[in-house]
Structure 1
Amino acid sequence: MKKRIKPMLIGVATSIFAAASHAEPPEAPKLYISTNGPQVSFYWDEVSKADNYILIASNLDDGSPFGQFDLGAGTRLNAPLPEGSGFFVSIRAENADGNSNFSIPHSLVVPSISTAAPSIEQVIQNYARNVILNTYSDLAEQTKILRAAIIELQFEKTDKNLYKAQNAWRNARLPWEQSEAFVFGPVDTNELDPALDSWPINATDIQNIVKSDTPLTTKAVSTFDPTLKGFHVIEYLLFGSNSNKAASELTDRELAYLIAAASVLSNDAQALVDAWNPNDGNYLSVFSQAGAGSTAYPSQTAALQEMLIGMIGIADEVANGKLGRPLTQQDANFIESRFSANSRSDFMNNIRGLLNVYTGNYMLSEGPGLDALVKSVNPALDEAIRDQIEKSIAAIYAIPQPFSESIINNRAQVQAAVDEVKALLSILIDKLLPLVPAV
């Protein structure tokens, strides 16, 4: 009997420790802040397995505590703060297994309301430098982190490392989805958009490659059809078809495919940065010199229209494509990022990218935006656009997770989000676009 009890106890202990090894505190969220005079908006992406978020602030002058705020499970906060005040602000995520670290503190200085409108030239230049180049730079950095996490997973194939790689994938999605508000220039002409983010993909084709003897080097994968590389191939291999992949299920061929695909993704993201970099491809100059020698943009109006077309395009894609098509077709195969259940976050970040274009801000880098031009001629329209952006994000967030189930079981909430984003689209087309020649 004793000989049987010992293995039994070992088995029980092993299962307990195995269960404990899956218990992970959440990762630290990434905090974003935008300001509109004294009105300050804080937002952060949902962190996997987080149940609650805590915001902490201290005074900028001396670091003394200002306050700690329990934000529940929400992902945004809007608050009026005193003009000219300054704070260090961080956020952390919590769950039953513990707390994440606080995010890197951001310094926030609440600006005063300015009545002076910037020049169109300033808005165009800030958009190219502050929004586009910064977003692409963040994308390149996050894809490098993703590649490193996958390499670590190959060396030590544990569920903890798989979880880290999955979170790195989600983190890289954020700047990419925000960049979809400006899919022009090198991302289009160099065919980097499909290489990075083709959807839908064919799982059967991916499995056929895994089972074949096709070389899975970076050079070989870079030549694959766009549907066989990029974000969603990596997503499928990391998360599995039902979002429940375990590290033990990863084969050597899948890991080789993952590393090569992540390397290609990182290289393509870096190519975007290089194409806009003033010291390299310098498309930044092509756009920034609109109306002053640019062959692609002979007038400043042409550049402003490019900005608005990007905003309109992503609003249309979210309303009618990403949200609307799966709902009307009742087909989860049309749902982007469904393997990771990251769809709702993707859609919110698409609208946040639109907001970045409108305000001229990216993360804590601020500058003159379209909003200042609009406010100078039609303050009510500026308020309406901002309000509808917030309503659109809130309606998307209100869709219960996972989105793939909500298109069947929560159709009203999905339709409400479609309606709000369509309302935003109408404002952009009917009210903002005709204003361009006047600003």
Structure 2
Amino acid sequence: MNTKFTRNLIAASLLTLPVFAQAAPTKADVVEHYADIAHSVFSDALTTAQSLDKALDALIANPSEANLNKAREAWKAARVPYQQSEVFRFGNAVVDDWEGQLNAWPLDEGLIDYVAGEYHYELGNEGAKANIIANQSLQIGNSEIDVSQITPELLADLNELGGSEANVATGYHAIEFLLWGQDLNGTERGAGERQYTDFAYGEACTNDNCDRRRAYLKAASELLQSDLTWMTQQWAANVKGNYRAELLADSPENGLRKMLFGMGSLSLGELAGERMKVALEANSTEDEHDCFSDNTHYSHYYNEQGIYNVYTGTYMRVNGTLVSGPGIHALVEQKDKQAAKQIQAEFDRARSQVYTLVQSAEKQNQHFDQLIAAGNKAGNAMVNDAIFALVKQTAEIERAANIIGISNLNPDTADHQF
């Protein structure tokens, strides 16, 4: 992604962002600021999803190569704040219970649209080749499902069709697949190459059912915006009885435990484990996070940036405004200044190490799916170094927790051994 928008955000976020001095912030201050950051991040995710929707409307109204490229860039821009929101998922059930409709992966894309003949999918998945776009009804087991009208509600109901988690009908990755199509390059260079004519009108339409493909794109976008609107409201300061109110009504210690558990679980079990280690050990592009667009390096980087945001109490908004206040670092510094410096240094190292994946893609044109290829010793080592840095960062998160008196942290390993 070479847009000026993203380059500016990366340049700004790579700075060691300052934690502005305050008069001995309390634990309650830190938890409240955590909620402020969450609201800013989800607000940005909503704003960029709305911009994506406008780009999709332009593509739907006038399918062209230029409009398809603009929609793809808008999708990538929408991923920037959303990936930073995932640090709020772990520890906050309201987010974890909700996020699957927006970010579930990997997915069996044959549920949605046409796929290549040698298409690998989850064994036993009855919906793996259902092709919603090409059919008016689906036969799953003994059930016949009417899919003649593609609506946000229908797509939400089709998630985990037939009991398979690989049946993902909604969210960022469903839209990504529609914009790029399958990446058939394996561990060689190149992303998906869907043609804009897959959305065309009349005889210009390729691969049939262009009207339903356009309808699917719009329905998925509408659902994405609706979901993000709801979550933004859950963290708003001016909404009574929402999740923010519940969080702040609880003890500050429990709030801090949620913060630290979220940071550690994303760092260790999810990012180092599910999103890097699984793909690396299996040399599997099917387990790559943004596999259709080859945007995985940015998804990994912004996951790490989200962890960094919560620790430092800072967040760079998509409009360039810096949100800053007391974070975990401020509490650690009150207790042990030397330890605070050491922990901050490990966070800086982890973020820099994950950023090497971005540099590999942007400067060497070697993306994550190439780095994990069997036989790519240098690429494998780069991913391994990022994993190790995240493991070390998690140990520092646990150290920070001990310093500020938060016990029973136990970040989720997702059953991975490191």
- How does the TM-score come out when normalised to structure 1? 0.71
Contact 2:6–2:77 under 8 Å retained in 1 = no
Higher RCO by CA contacts (8 Å cutoff, separation 6 or greater): 2
Please list, as runs of the form range in 1=range in 2, the aligned pairs for 1:397-436 lying within 5 A after superposition. Answer: 397-399=355-357, 400-401=360-361, 402-408=367-373, 409=376, 410-429=379-398, 431-436=399-404
Contact 1:120–1:300 under 8 Å retained in 2 = yes
- Distance in structure 2 (CA, Å) of the matches to 1:121 and 1:26: 39
Please list, as runs of the form range in 1=range in 2, the aligned pairs for 1:349-388 lying within 5 A after superposition. Answer: 349-363=302-316, 364-388=322-346
| Residue type of the alignment partner of 1:351 | E
Alignment partner, residue 315 of structure 1:
267
Identity %: 27
- Flag the 1:229–1:422 CA change in 2: closer, same or farther, 3 A: same
- Distance in structure 2 (CA, Å) of the matches to 1:246 and 1:433: 50
Tell me if 1:195 matches 2:101. yes
Alignment partner, residue 396 of structure 1:
354
Structure with more of its chain in strand, by fraction? 1
Contact 2:72–2:179 under 8 Å retained in 1 = yes
Deviation at 1:172, TM superposition (A): 1.3
Alignment partner, residue 70 of structure 1:
none
Alignment partner, residue 47 of structure 1:
none
- Number of positions where the alignment pairs a residue of Structure 1 with one of Structure 2: 334
- How does the TM-score come out when normalised to structure 2? 0.75
Please list, as runs of the form range in 1=range in 2, the aligned pairs for 1:297-336 lying within 5 A after superposition. Answer: 297=250, 299-316=251-268, 317-336=270-289
Deviation at 1:404, TM superposition (A): 0.6
Please list, as runs of the form range in 1=range in 2, the aligned pairs for 1:118-197 lying within 5 A after superposition. Answer: 118-129=25-36, 131-183=37-89, 184-188=92-96, 191-197=97-103
| Residue type of the alignment partner of 2:284 | D
Cα deviations by residue, 1:207-229 (Å, 9 ceiling, x for unpaired): 21111122212232232216111
Deviation at 1:281, TM superposition (A): 4.7
Deviation at 1:152, TM superposition (A): 1.0
- Flag the 1:185–1:407 CA change in 2: closer, same or farther, 3 A: same
Alignment partner, residue 234 of structure 2:
275
- Distance in structure 2 (CA, Å) of the matches to 1:201 and 1:249: 21
Cα deviations by residue, 1:134-175 (Å, 9 ceiling, x for unpaired): 111111111111111111100010111111111111111111
- Distance in structure 2 (CA, Å) of the matches to 1:157 and 1:27: 24
Structure 1: where are the runs of 5+ without partners? 1-23, 34-40, 44-75, 80-109, 290-296
| Residue type of the alignment partner of 2:12 | F
2:223 to 264, 268, 274: 264
Contact 2:34–2:327 under 8 Å retained in 1 = yes
Please list, as runs of the form range in 1=range in 2, the aligned pairs for 1:221-236 lying within 5 A after superposition. Answer: 221-225=155-159, 227-236=168-177
- Distance in structure 1 (CA, Å) of the matches to 2:85 and 2:99: 10
Q: How large is the RMSD of aligned CA atoms in angstroms?
A: 2.3
- Flag the 1:333–1:137 CA change in 2: closer, same or farther, 3 A: same
Contact 1:301–1:436 under 8 Å retained in 2 = no
Deviation at 1:395, TM superposition (A): 1.8
Contact 1:126–1:369 under 8 Å retained in 2 = yes
